[in-house]
Amino acid sequence: MFALCDCTLAFFYKIPFLFSFTNIEEYHKRLGEGKITCVEATVYYLEKIAETKHLNAFVEVYRSESLERAKYLDEKRNRYETVGKLHGVIIAIKDVICYKDHKVTAASGILENFISVFNSTVIAELLKEDAIIIGNCNCDEFAMGSTNENSIYGRTLNALDETKVPGGSSGGSAVAVQAGLCMVSLGSDTGGSVRQPADFCGITGIKPSYGVISRHGLIAYASSFDQIGIFSNNIEDAAKVLEVINGSDIYDSTVSQQKQRAFPLSYKTGKSRTHKYRIALLKNAVEHDSLDKEIKKNIYDLTNSLKKDGHEINEIDFNLIDFIVPAYYVLTTAEASSNLSRYDGVRYGYRHEDNCIDLSSFYKKTRSKGFGKEVKRRIMLGTFVLSEGYYDAYFTKAQQIRRLLVNQTKEIFKKHDALILPTVPTTAFKTGSMQKDPIAMYLADIYTVYANLTGTPAISLPLFKHTNGMPFGLQVIANNYDELTLLEFSHMLMNNYKTY
């Protein structure tokens, strides 16, 4: 019944031309008042996705399935049954999150046409709370990259300026929210892959503390860094989705044993309007040579305004800044070389059948053809840093840096509620500009990898606009497991200090 072509969908369902989405709470209100239905909202988004196909944000759109689900949810609501916390909320997911009976490929040739046989925990939780999964989104292969250009599906375009990248690796999920193709989306963040594209696209992107959200069913890149994150248009929606997907999980031993937490933002009671925060500013980060002058100025202007309004700002020396990118790339490539060894052509996806005289040539040919250039570069780098004779010089050293960072961060949060720094040193790169220089691309991760090395929760807030026309964000980090302070402080900043 739902096998209609895109152009007839709107007509068939008589969708209101004025449908617009502000936040989940408002959407729920309109559903309750009968001003809109889940089917109408779904049709609206399906139409928009079809109109913006050239952005290449989606790998697959679950058209008929999401309409069927929307219809089921409308009926459920009309029967006055209890509805879920994300009733009818339209969500897109990154192509690294397993959804039973749906294709999941990590944008890699090696998982071509691979169908997931189970639901990741996040998907199970979203569905339990009545969400509608509308499709899965493009990304860099195995979440390795900063531009969304390393994908078998081709690049995703930044909807604000199509000559620029949307960032990566969760570029498709970011554009899905930026271009209004869903209400919220999920990405994954190992070294900035949610915060950096959020910065480039002018939206909100949060990476919770390591261990807050189960990684069960998230295709691994670097297991001690990976964390699922949320893209949204506002802080309230991020808090709502986080409430549903956090919590302990028997399928992930690295996830916190804490029960599912709620994040009631106290702006409703007025606390966050009057509360004075103690804020740390990483001096060496804002003074770093790689930082665009205008981004630097905007951050100093913001700290001056915060000071004037009675918040405490302390500039902190952070001498480890130049060690964090090397430490991140040593540790993550080491973990990746181990995680990705499972793609051998026997158990998953692509297998090379021709001219394989023995098992070793079968492995070699499968992996050489199946993986893209950047993934192969990282597997080789990771294998090298783990190899005998080099292990102590690279892997152990990087672990030591990680420990120093964790200790220093603990000290900072003894005296502060939040830490602020840029999200990225520049605004969105020109398409293709980073392809020939992987080192330059790695160095641009200077501000985001810190939170993954320390496991702290971090968010990018779209507070600023550059004179080159592109948006850029402020990154806020809070103490481990203190997502509530992170969200409240962010909400206060978004309400009072947005500059455009």
Residues interacting with ligand GLN, by CB under 6 A? 143-146, 169, 188-193, 221, 332, 445
CB of 196 to ligand GLN, least distance (A): 7
85 catalytic residue (yes or no): no
Nearer to ligand GLN, 280 or 321 (CB): 321
CB of 121 to ligand GLN, least distance (A): 19
* Encoded tokens for 126: 């979203």
Nearer to ligand GLN, 236 or 335 (CB): 335
CB of 167 to ligand GLN, least distance (A): 9
State the Cα–Cα distance between residues 483 and 489, nearest whole angstrom.
10
Angle at 438 between CA 433 and CA 440, to 5 degrees: 70
**Contact at 8 Å (CB) between 431 and 164?**
yes
DSSP assignment of 388-452: TTTHIIIIIHHHHHHHHHHHHHHHHHHH-SEEEEES-SSSPPBTTTTTT-HHHHHHTTTTTHHHH
CB of 188 to ligand GLN, least distance (A): 6
State the Cα–Cα distance between residues 148 and 247, nearest whole angstrom.
30
Please tell me which residue in 146, 193, 256, 460 is annotated as part of the active site: 193
- Report how far apart, in Å, the C-alpha atoms of 486 and of each of 197, 249, 456 are: 19, 23, 10
CB of 164 to ligand GLN, least distance (A): 16
338 catalytic residue (yes or no): no
Per the DSSP assignment, residues forming a β-bridge with 30 are none
State the Cα–Cα distance between residues 166 and 157, nearest whole angstrom.
6
The closest of 140, 36, 53, 139 to 90, measured between CA atoms, is 36
Nearer to ligand GLN, 249 or 445 (CB): 445
Give the residue closest to ligand GLN by C-beta. Answer: 193
What is the arrangement of strands in the sheet containing 312-316, beginning at the earlier edge strand? Answer: 58-61, 132-137, 90-94, 184-188, 228-232, 204-207, 458-465, 471-478, 418-422, 278-282, 312-316
Nearer to ligand GLN, 52 or 333 (CB): 333
State the Cα–Cα distance between residues 428 and 176, nearest whole angstrom.
17
Parallel, antiparallel or unpaired: strands 312-316 and 278-282: parallel
3-state secondary structure of 240: helix
CB of 4 to ligand GLN, least distance (A): 37
Please tell me which residue in 108, 116, 151, 169 is annotated as part of the active site: 169
Nearer to ligand GLN, 90 or 144 (CB): 144
Nearer to ligand GLN, 140 or 482 (CB): 140
Angle at 194 between CA 202 and CA 384, to 5 degrees: 135
Residue 486 has a CB neighbour count (10 Å cut-off) of 27
CB of 325 to ligand GLN, least distance (A): 10
Please tell me which residue in 94, 164, 207, 240 is annotated as part of the active site: 94
* Encoded tokens for 414: 């003894």
169 catalytic residue (yes or no): yes
Nearer to ligand GLN, 67 or 92 (CB): 92
Residues identified as active-site: 94, 169, 193
